[in-house]
Amino acid sequence: MTYGLNTAGLAVLAQTQQFALQYRKQLAGAMGVLLLGSGATAFAIANFAPDPADLPVRQVIESVNLQPAMPLAEQAQELAGIRYNLLRSDSTRSTDTADTLLRRLGIDDPAAAAFLRTDAQARQSLIGRAGRSLTAEAGNDNRLVRLVARWNGDDDRNFKRLVIEKTTGGFASRLEDAPWVAGTRLAGGTIRSSLFAATDDARIPDTVAVQLAEIFSGDIDFHRALRKGDRFSVVYESLEADGEPLRAGRVLSAEFVNAGKSYQALWFQESGAKGGYYTADGSSLRRAFLASPLQFSRVTSGFKMRFHPIFQQWRAHTGVDYAAAMGTPVRTIGDGIVSFAGKQNGYGNVVQIQHNASQSTLYAHLSKLLVRQGQRVTQGENIALSGATGWATGPHLHFEFRVNGVFRDPLTIARQSEAQPVSAQARPAFDRAAALARIQLQAAGTVQQASAQ
């Protein structure tokens, strides 16, 4: 179809262009509303349209006189009356001031900035506080209508919400407690260099990565056994505040493929018992001993002969050394009683734990002790902070495992410790949970493959 323009039409077109430039913001807002209202309908009917190749084709040539349906001045008045609000999201930063925070949210409102500077709740909860989730609502004049900040509360059940709203008398603020809503997230990744690099690429929180390492630490040596191309899928809780995910919760199920071998785990809690992770066939992944006294580190010296860095001669290394920055929390690998806590020659500050009649562990070169002799401790409890006391060339943790006083390889002991299966009474409930976990992990694996492609 071809259209011709006469002289009058060209004049109207030029006038329309000038009008569009003058009121471009209002036109954009009006078009946004129009598209929002019509987009879904257009999509819905598009599937029922006939094949364009089957439609008859004909050419029509017609002259059109472009005259506005309404004078431009009246159209301008109509557009000037359009009001719309825009939502923007961001996070607070430690360097934020009232002005920089609002500017980053696209808000130009001196009155709002002045309120943030003077309001006690805003100063305490926003300015200089990093990592808090923000949602700002602004009018088409870029003036603040509503600002909401959310962050972790003082307990595991609620989050904090600061609401700042524009009222007829100015701005007002209120601080609220609101309950978390637990959601479920699926994710996956492939190892290229390290576990944390892979989880970062997949936008998986570090707390989930640490849990993955913990769950599979009895089967996979994350310090030495990871291979390029290893992959994982994970289903975890997402704690949401007003629909916004603020932090990750517990890993619900996971699969890790290491060197071609698949390992699966799911969280399950028997009635009246402590929950834990189990394999797909119902064997508990909680062993008598953890594989490592550090949450996540690497072995710098194993259980073997080595050239001693201080004595400059070959000696048997009776334990395992882990890289650990000064002050890293050290945890007991199993339940037991503190049999010694203090200084011990070249070991420096030491904690020794008796787990049973024959098995004990020793943690050396510590900077600070968190337990005392005779105290009962449970698996995973922090007992000290790493350091460089005694005969140490730098901060690290020296860890030993003894059986009847004889030094044994801690990594071997951890993998050989016993695991308990699901009880017969809980088996039907476990089987249902395992079936659901398999479906979710398949979906998580599909997500990982799609993101990789």
Token output for 442? 């398949």
* Rounded distance between C-alpha atoms, residue 235 and residue 264, angstroms: 12
pLDDT for res 451: 58
pLDDT for res 79: 65
| Contact of 263 with 256, CB cutoff 8 Å | yes
* Residues present in the chain in total: 453
pLDDT for res 352: 95
User: What distance, in Å, lies between the first and last C-alpha atoms of the chain?
Assistant: 43
pLDDT for res 115: 95
pLDDT for res 240: 86
pLDDT for res 242: 84
Give residues with Cβ within 8 angstroms of 39, minimum separation 6.
none
Residues of CATH 3.10.450.350 domain(s) within the chain?
Answer: 85-179, 182-285+436-452
Query: Cα angle at 249 between 245 and 253, to 5 degrees?
Result: 115
Residues of CATH 2.70.70.10 domain(s) within the chain?
Answer: 299-416
pLDDT for res 277: 92
Strand intervals (E) in 1-143: 2-4, 61-63, 85-91, 133-139
The candidate with the shortest Cα–Cα distance to 222, out of 304, 298, 303, is 298
List, for residues 199-231, the tens digit of each pLDDT value.
999 999 999 998 998 888 778 877 778 899 999
pLDDT for res 361: 94
Give residues with Cβ within 8 angstroms of 79, minimum separation 6.
23, 26, 27, 30
pLDDT for res 418: 61
pLDDT for res 2: 42
pLDDT for res 260: 92
Burial of 160 (0-12, 13-18, 19+ CB in 10 A): middle
Give residues with Cβ within 8 angstroms of 137, minimum separation 6.
85, 86, 87, 144, 145, 146, 147
pLDDT for res 5: 45
pLDDT for res 304: 46
- Give CA separation, 138 vs 85, 146, 323, 356, 414, in Å: 5, 7, 50, 64, 57
pLDDT for res 21: 54
Positions of the chain with pLDDT lower than 50, given as ranges = 1-10, 12-13, 30, 32-48, 301-315
* Class of the CATH domain delimited by 182-285+436-452: alpha beta
pLDDT for res 235: 95
* Rounded distance between C-alpha atoms, residue 443 and residue 186, angstroms: 7
CATH fold of the domain at 299-416? Glucose Permease (Domain IIA) (2.70.70)
| Contact of 251 with 212, CB cutoff 8 Å | yes
* CATH number for the segment(s) 85-179: 3.10.450.350
Helix (H, G, I), strand (E, B) or coil at 350: strand
